[in-house]
Structure 1
């Protein structure tokens, strides 16, 4: 097994050698400056991120799912991204899933030893009936977590697409990934605490992957989240605002049309922009795989 001392994420940060002697102002300034390295690190891996998104989009168009696999902070970051997809894009909870070492209990409490079980990642993916249509993204700042490695090995064996997300170069899990995203954020000001820069960079990259994927799947019109699941007051108000922005109608008109569509924003927008009935708008969206802009252009043609 690789020694942890060889990992760049475990290296000593010279500028924070006196961290315990610094004032609060000095600590937060240093943390802010250190976080400024994140965008540059991500810029270097944008080609790999683009490749990953293309894979996810194509697999989802064919009925595939996306799985995040991680332990500790890495697993929780995957979970944060996964659970936001249903309310933001009206996706099924099964479409983007996060699997944590130690199961759901590991969300709130660290499950010691689970991340070191090489077979456990495979077991968890078997429970989800992983297939060759799916994509597995293994997340590990160190790039060596056995739980993640085992999951990627199994995923590759059955023909699923595999992607690694790490913060160390030439990491172990990258050897088992079709696409390796190695975002090198360097030593942490609190030595080895990868919940800082490394985790922040990983969260940003997951944001890029799912958001861009959903855009390409037709869940965005202009820059509006037109597939928002309006399940509460705040989201219903957001739905009205989106319809107003997209169609230039009044708040009252937006509310009226959304009542007709059961707060399905896409339908409301297409009905208003094409002067269509509910049935006609449903047909247009069906013919264009849910893309609002294409549906509107089809009606004009």
Structure 2
């Protein structure tokens, strides 16, 4: 926050927030802050209402933001509002109130942490690469295409034709994103995957590096919600699973194994991230 006196230093208004503070503590603190703002600037001067709030992935900040600025909006209601906006069925109010969005750096650290729990050290960068592709989606149609291909790559036990097509599609989309200044990011720039599943990267994926922890976050499952996004991505996941059953037949037994196979990591992505896709992706930005 800028200083209340001309020429004064800025005020780091969040330095008093600690990991012990919950959502209601933050909401109370913000409401008190707004009241003090009115006392300083006058009650006729409304407190600025941000169109977008960028923060780390901490639920306390995300929830506090939509509660304070959107009239006690819950995360379930927020996700359904996001769905209406993306489906072009939004009301005037849907478009006027605040949107919350998670910082890319904090989000990718969380992805890295969860990938490290399931994937081998060499494959952690691949897990981040998949999520970086999803992050960069500007439309739901684009995210559906990427999600479908990610599902096929991670659910294929062998290098079947569907696997090859999907991996090639994802690699091409990554190249296209790297060529777009508005979409390129450090993960897509640092990781490349060949059509045979060979991974090369120049990122540091040491699991012992200094990873910050989000304030007030249950790292494994920060939001227990049912959303239209969750239903959509579960349906696509199941469709891909059914599609690949044909390759379990004995006639395909000589196909080489898929070195990228990880149904467990895909399930983790589906549980932790896909129900709240608008929070960490570019869908609403």
TM-score (norm 2): 0.26
Higher relative contact order (CA 8 A, sep 6+): 2
TM-score (norm 1): 0.25
